Amino acid sequence: MDTSLITDVTIFVLSLLVGFEVISKVPQTLHTPLMSAANSIHGVVIVGAFLIASTAHSTVGYTLAFIAAVFAGMNVVGGYTVTDRMLKMFQRRPAAASKDANADGGRP
C-alpha cells in the first residue's frame, strides 16, 4: 500500500466522522434542506468531470466527459438553487412566535 492511499483513506474516515458529528446536530425541521444541501455538495463531482475532460483525447473520452459535465452541472446548480429556495421559507418572519405579530399580518 502506498502512502497516498493510506492518506486518502485517513481523510475519508475522518471526514465521515466530522460529517456524523456536524449533521447529527441538524434539527428535524431542516432535514429536507439538509439532504438537498448535501446533494449540492456531492455536485463537487464536477471537479472530476473537469479532470476527465482535461485528459480526454478520444471520442469515447469526450462523450463521457460531456455526459459527466451535464450530470454534474445539473447537480450543482440545481442543488444549490433549490436548497436556497427552501431555506428562504424558513427565514420568513423569524420571530413570529408571538400571536400579536400574527394578528396584524406582520409579513415581510
Partner 1 sequence: MGAFRVVLTLAPVALDPVGRAAPSYAFEDGITLILLLAATCFVVGLHLMNAPPTADHGNRLSAAGMVVAVAATLALIAHDGTISTTGWLMLSLGGVIGSGFGLYLARTVEMTAMPQLVSLFNAVGGGAAALVAIADFVRLAGIAHAPTIAARTSVTSVLDVVIGAVTLSGSIVAAGKLQGFIPSNPVVVPAGRFVNLVLVLAACAGTGYILSGANSDLTLIGIALASLVIGVILVMPIGGADMPVVISLLNAFTGTAVAMAGFVINSLVLIIAGALVGASGSILTKLMADAMNRSILNIVAGGFGTGDQKSVIGAGATGQVRSVGADDVAIQLAYAQKVIIVPGYGLAAAHAQYAVKELADLLEKRGVEVSYAIHPVAGRMPGHMNVLLAEAEVPYQQLRTMEEINPEFPRADVALVIGANDVTNPAARRPGNPVSGMPILDVDKAKSVIVIKRSMGHGYAGIDNELYTDPKTAMFFADAQAGLRAIIAAVKTLVGVD
Neighbours of 65 (CB within 10 A): 19
The span from the CA of 33 to the CA of 76, in Å, is 14
If one asks whether residue 23 binds partner 1 (CB under 8 A), the answer comes out as: yes
Of residues 37-56, those binding partner 1 (CB under 8 A): 37-56
Q: Which of residues 65-104 bind partner 1 (CB under 8 A)?
A: 65-94, 96-97, 99, 102-103
Q: Is 106 one of the binding residues for partner 1 (CB under 8 A)?
A: no
32 contributes a contact to partner 1 by CB under 8 A = yes
C-alpha cell at 32: 429536507
Contact status: 62 vs partner 1 (CB under 8 A): yes
Specify the length of the chain in residues: 108
Helix (H) or strand (E) holding 26: none
